[in-house]
Structure 1
Amino acid sequence: MLMERKNFLKIAGLASVSVSTPGLVKAMLLQSEPRAKSLFDISLAEWSLHRHIFDGKIDHLEFAETTKNEFGITAVEYVNQFFTDKVNDPSYLDEMNSRCDDLGVEQLLIMVDGEGDLAVTDQQKRIEAVENHYKWVEAAEYLGCHSIRVNTYGDGSPHEQKQAAVDGLGRLAEFAKDYGINIIVENHGGYSSDAQWLGEVMRQVAMDNCGTLPDFGNFCIKREGGARWEGECVEEYDRYQGVKEMMPFAKGVSAKSYAFDKRGQETTIDFKKMIQIIHEAGYNGYIGIEYEGDALSEFEGIKATKKLLLDIRAQLDAG
């Protein structure tokens, strides 16, 4: 059934290649004609606008237009929960492709949550979670994305969860390989925020299309009461060491930001130090803005993060 769907998407795309599936065309062109890059390019993670989207001020289909016209950014990173009910609708994906093609906006990846735990020790549940992600791999290919971002949540001891993660990621990466899609893991709480643990997972999976998405934040391994997101952090990994250890496997980078001082510097994270780590690792792909602060509005927070990234890039280019 899944192979039938894959073939349908490909046939439908090739049959109307100039109109309905520009994402596929764009992906093919990018593979054959690499674009010249500076130290890095800037993309925008859709979560940066989650309040506007949840409040109905911006529709998911308007995300690319907002990204281009409001912020001058021409690459987007999607969040799956904003179009979960449309993932199996080719006409909706066609509309996403058409709008991005008209705008000259590149679709990079889909951040996938809520599809089950890929590192749960129960094999049946783990396989079910893997299969739940298949539709997002297919959608990513259809949109011309290079990756889907997944989580390695699970249970058991660090070793047990590691073995489960290796199995879950390996199964999903094997499926995604035929679609030309990467499976990338963000440090997103729990053991995934332990960069040594995650690095060992990557080494054991040992597949070219399985990698990481280092995030400047999210290095809390354990919170009070065992909650995933709520409560005080009681065990935290060093963020700079963590990004450094994740970079050998990186297929994207997430520039998390929270607040800024009067000089435009991020007050929680030393962005210049982070960018230097990324630069020294030889990475020159996209760095995605993911603003999560409260002091500035989402629009102003995105603009402040972009300005800081551009300032640092200019300094490194000049130096």
Structure 2
Amino acid sequence: MNRRTFLQHGSRVLAAMPLYSLAKTAVQSIPAAALNRIGITTVCFRERFPATRSKGATAPPDGDLTLLTAPKFIADQLGLHNVEIWSAQFADMSLDYCRQIKSAAAAAGSRIIDIQVDGSENLSDPDASKRAASIVTIKQWMDRAAAVGAPRMRANTGGGPAAAWDVNRTADSFRQLAEYGKTIDVKILIENHVGYSADIDKVVQLAKAVNDPNCRVISDWGNTPSTSAADRLAGLSKLFPYLELVSAKELDFDDQNHHVSYDIVPLIKATEASGFRGIYSIEFYSNRPPRDVVAAAKDMAQTIAANISRA
């Protein structure tokens, strides 16, 4: 399930609701240089946000999160200070609210590294007027990214019939966004995610066509159709030349809170071997999430730290 499907249809009632650790200790054994390269998205804590909680689910006993309280929660529970935030969890669209998010992150010694934007916009729409309207909306989100202090923002390509895909049309949209981003110091990112961009080859085509250093790519480990480790790595490696951020996603977990979908270590090692020295942003998204999100994130942070360069 992708995030757009969640928004449109609501997630299924999970067989086992996530149980969030109440531990207050941070990940203290990870060197600071490694921690600087690890982050987490608020998508992981969607059951704590009323707007993204599973239909019929109850609030956690220790209270909800907001984008104003999430940075401190993440810093206290995980010792992580790179926070990625999800558009679906914004309580207010004003720039003043965005500046409050920036201040809340700073108060926790943290920073917002990216906004993951999901909505009805279609930057690939054949109708020029509809496409232009989508560009306007995404620019407004880029303004919010600037206000929260995020140097980058993910936008979806939109979609349509396979035969209607026109890389040049979509590239024109992203080229306009890249140019706008230069005026506010925000990069626009393409992710292997939904719509046309669910196809990694289309993401590569698009990045090549835009050909602008202010338009880069997010590699999402979980969003591939691969059924083997080799195929997954081969697909994701196509994104390496354009890589700005890694969505370090784990999918299905067993009852012991262990990730069972694929081994992330080869993905980390290959990404590092490509020369990438950016941030790995932890994400969990599937119908079988970890029972304890904080514990799973701590485990994942340790695995990432053990396999990345600290230079």
Q: Same fold (TM over 0.5)?
A: yes
- Select the structure with the greater relative contact order (CA < 8 A; seq sep ≥ 6): 2
Which shows bigger deviation, 164-173 or 153-162? 153-162
Equivalent residue pairs, number: 266
Q: What is the correspondence of 1:172-211 to structure 2 with a 5 Å cutoff?
A: 172-211=177-216
Counterpart amino acid of residue 277 in structure 1? A
Tell me if 1:280 matches 2:273. Answer: yes
The match for 1:42 is 38
Say if 1:217 and 1:302 are closer, same or farther in 2 by CA, change over 3 A.
farther
* Contact map agreement 1:190 1:220 (CA 8 A) in 2: no
Deviation at 1:193, TM superposition (A): 2.5
Counterpart amino acid of residue 175 in structure 1? Y
* Contact map agreement 2:257 2:296 (CA 8 A) in 1: yes
Tell me if 1:291 matches 2:287. Answer: no
Distance 2:77 2:232 in 1: 30
Say if 1:239 and 1:81 are closer, same or farther in 2 by CA, change over 3 A.
same
1:61 partner SS:
coil
The match for 2:94 is 88
Q: Percent identity?
A: 24
Deviation at 1:218, TM superposition (A): 1.5
The match for 2:3 is none
Tell me if 1:152 matches 2:157. Answer: yes
* Contact map agreement 2:282 2:300 (CA 8 A) in 1: no
Q: What is the correspondence of 1:97-112 to structure 2 with a 5 Å cutoff?
A: 97-112=102-117
Q: CA RMSD in A?
A: 2.8
Deviation at 1:63, TM superposition (A): 1.0
Q: What is the correspondence of 1:213-228 to structure 2 with a 5 Å cutoff?
A: 213-220=218-225
Segments of 5+ residues of structure 1 without an aligned counterpart are 1-35, 222-232
Distance 1:294 1:88 in 2: 33
Deviation at 1:302, TM superposition (A): 4.2
1:284 partner SS:
coil
Counterpart amino acid of residue 209 in structure 2? Q
The match for 2:71 is 64
Say if 1:104 and 1:196 are closer, same or farther in 2 by CA, change over 3 A.
same
Deviation at 1:245, TM superposition (A): 0.7
1:275 partner SS:
helix
The match for 2:86 is 79
Per-residue deviation, residues 129-163 of structure 1 (Å, max 9, x unmatched): 01111111111112221111011112244573322
Segments of 5+ residues of structure 2 without an aligned counterpart are 1-31, 54-58
Deviation at 1:123, TM superposition (A): 1.3
Distance 1:213 1:179 in 2: 20
Deviation at 1:89, TM superposition (A): 3.8
1:184 partner SS:
strand
The match for 2:232 is 239
Distance 2:98 2:258 in 1: 38
Q: Name the TM-score, length of structure 1 as normaliser.
A: 0.75
Distance 1:98 1:244 in 2: 36
The match for 2:11 is none
The match for 2:169 is 164
Distance 1:133 1:290 in 2: 23
Say if 1:312 and 1:144 are closer, same or farther in 2 by CA, change over 3 A.
closer
Say if 1:125 and 1:93 are closer, same or farther in 2 by CA, change over 3 A.
same
* Contact map agreement 2:113 2:152 (CA 8 A) in 1: yes
Say if 1:315 and 1:262 are closer, same or farther in 2 by CA, change over 3 A.
farther
Distance 1:160 1:295 in 2: 33
Distance 1:247 1:102 in 2: 34
Tell me if 1:250 matches 2:246. Answer: no
The match for 2:302 is 310
The match for 1:52 is 48
2:166 partner SS:
helix
Between structures 1 and 2, the one with greater helix share: 1
Per-residue deviation, residues 79-102 of structure 1 (Å, max 9, x unmatched): 11211x522241x22321221111
Tell me if 1:137 matches 2:161. Answer: no
